[in-house]
Chain A
Amino acid sequence: GDSVTQTEGLVTLTEGLPVMLNCTYQSTYSPFLFWYVQHLNEAPKLLLKSFTDNKRPEHQGFHATLHKSSSSFHLQKSSAQLSDSALYYCANNNAGAKLTFGGGTRLTVRP
């Protein structure tokens, strides 16, 4: 069945180091991937989404590339900031307009 897997539940980094949050998926139909970010006591908000024209989506210094060959859509940033500390969700929009979410990765950035 359709699923999204985020292997790390918790990631702790030092400010300035690169960020990579993993996301793999299984999708019956052509995948359309999203990353959402949720800060403490707030709603999840869209961070970025995959495109179908091979453009690499970027937002707030984060980027992700959809690799259909490996069924992955990892989130990356070259230098972590304290304000990046949040809960990150990867999600896939299957046919029928339903988002399937991964279990989430909590990123903590330390000074």
Chain B
Amino acid sequence: EAAVTQSPRNKVAVTGGKVTLSCNQTNNHNNMYWYRQDTGHGLRLIHYSYGAGSTEKGDIPDGYKASRPSQENFSLILELATPSQTSVYFCASGGTTNSDYTFGSGTRLLVI
């Protein structure tokens, strides 16, 4: 069954440390996305990709980098983690314009 898998499910990081969140999809979708979810803000787009080798800035990219080494994998990188980046992060994959997304189960990140 086609799916989006995120790892890790939970992560505790130290302020100033580097954090990498991973996402793998078996949907063969071109597009992949990283969102963060915070109470009162809903889902906000951080970075997205149209295919292997491409990354684009979303609405709140500051403090985050992304990497799309292959069709299946899309990573979100926090080079210098800060407590304000404590959140739940969702990866999603989607097909063409006007198509819906399939979300992963989320990564709960706590930066202390």
Contact = CB atoms under 8 A, between A and B. Distances in A.
Nearest to B90: A43
B106 A98 contact: no
Given A93-B98, A95-B97, A97-B97, A103 B42 contact: yes
B98 A101 contact: no
B97 A104 contact: no
Q: Summarize A's interface: helix, strand, loop or mixed.
A: loop
Nearest to A101: B43
Given A43-B105, A97-B94, A99-B94, A49 B100 contact: yes
Interface residues of A, number: 22
A46 interface: yes
B100 A104 contact: no
Given A93-B99, A97-B99, A44 B42 contact: no
B96 interface: yes
A89 B42 CA distance: 8
A42 interface: yes
Interface residues of B, number: 25
A44 B90 contact: yes
Contacts of B31: 97
B45 interface: yes
Given A89-B42, A98-B45, A103-B41, A32 B103 contact: no
A110 B80 CA distance: 44
Interface string A95-111: 11111111110000000
A9 interface: yes
B105 A42 contact: yes
Interface string A72-111: 0000000000000000010001011111111110000000
Interface of A: 6, 9, 32, 34, 42-46, 49, 89, 93, 95-104
Given A97-B98, A97-B99, 17 more contacts: A32-B98, A43-B90, A43-B103, A44-B103, A49-B100, A93-B97, A93-B98, A96-B97, A97-B31, A97-B50, A97-B94, A97-B97, A98-B48, A99-B100, A101-B42, A101-B44, A103-B40
